[in-house]
Amino acid sequence: MRNGPLAVVAAAVLWGTAGTAGLLVSADSIALAAARLVIGGAALALLGGVAVRRVAGPGLLLGAVAVAAYQLCFFAAVARTGVAIGTVVAIGSGPVFTGLLSWLLERRRPSRRWTAATAAAISGCAALIVGGGAEAGGQVVSGVLFALLGGLLYAFYAVMAARAIGRGGESNAVMGAMFGGAAVIMLPVLVVNGGVGWQPRELLAVLYLGLGSTALSYFLYGRGLRTTPVSTAATLALAEPAVAALLGVVVLGERLAPVSVGGLVLLALSLVVVAVPERRAQAAAEARVPAAAGVPEGR
C-alpha cells in the first residue's frame, strides 16, 4: 500500500473540520468533545470486532488513557490561551514529541529532511497565529504547558498505535481497542457535563464529530500507519490547522492576513516534502514488504 501518506492527510483534513462543526452549534465544548470520543470510540471498537481483544494490552491501555487525557488537556489549554494558540501549540508540538519518542523507543533517528520539513511546517503554523492576531488571556503560561502536555500525550498514543500495528496488529483492531477504552473513560465526563437534551442540530454535529472527524479519521490514520513512519504521520497531521483556517475563511467569514497566507503556503510545501518518500527509503521498503509479507506488491 503506497498511499499511506494520503490516508494520513485525509485523516488530518477530517480533524480540521471539527472546530468549525463545533462552532456551528451552541453546545458546551467539553460535552461535545466527550460525546465525540464516546461515539467515535464505540464505532471504532465495533469496527475492530473480536480482534480488539487479541491486540488489547498494557501499551494500548495506556494509549487509551492518553487519548482521553489529551482531550482534557487540550480544552484546558484553549480556555487559558485561546483557540488559535492552544491548538497550534498542541498540534505543532506533536511531531517533535513523536520524533523524539520514536527515537527513544524504536531507535529510529529522524532524517535531516524530516527535521527541516517539520521545522518549516511548525513555522507555518506559527504564522497562522501571528497573522490572525490571536490574543491570549492572563493564564498564558499554564495554558501553553497544558498544550505541550497535550502534544506529548498525542505523540504517546500515536507511537503506541504504530508499535502495535508494526508488530502485526490489525489497524482497525488497534484503533478500536485504544479509542474504545478512551470512550469508556470519557463517558462519565459526558454525563457530568450535561451531554443530554440536545437539539436536532446539535445531535447532527455530535454525530458528525463522532463518526466523521473521529471514527473515519482514525480508521484512515490507522491505515496510514501501516506504511508510514509515525514521525512522518505526525508531521502530515499538521494539515489539520491549515484546513481549520481555510474553513474559517470559507464557512465562518474570517479573514487571513498576508502572513497567514504565507504560513499556509509554507505549511503546504512542507507537507509535500514529508509526504514524498526518499528514493532510497522507498526502494528499500518496496524490497522488504513483498518479501516479508509474501503477498503481491499491488495488494
Which grid coordinates belong to 256?
487571513
Q: Which of 109-118, 248-257, 262-271, 276-285 has the lowest mean pLDDT?
A: 276-285
Q: Residue 299 — pLDDT band, cuts 50, 70, 90?
A: very low
Q: Which of 24-38, 59-73, 128-142 has the lowest mean pLDDT?
A: 128-142
Domain ranges of the chain: 4-291
Which grid coordinates belong to 282?
522507498
Residue from 8, 4, 9 nearest 282 by CA: 4
Q: What is the pTM of this model?
A: 0.79
Secondary structure class of 25 (helix, strand, coil):
coil
Who wins on pLDDT, 141 or 204? 204
The whole-number pLDDT of residue 278 equals 54
Give the range with max mean pLDDT: 4-18, 68-82, 118-132.
Answer: 4-18
Give the angle 236-239-243 at the CA atoms, nearest 5°.
Answer: 165
Q: Grid cell 529522524 — which residue?
A: 110
- pLDDT of 128 higher than 70: no
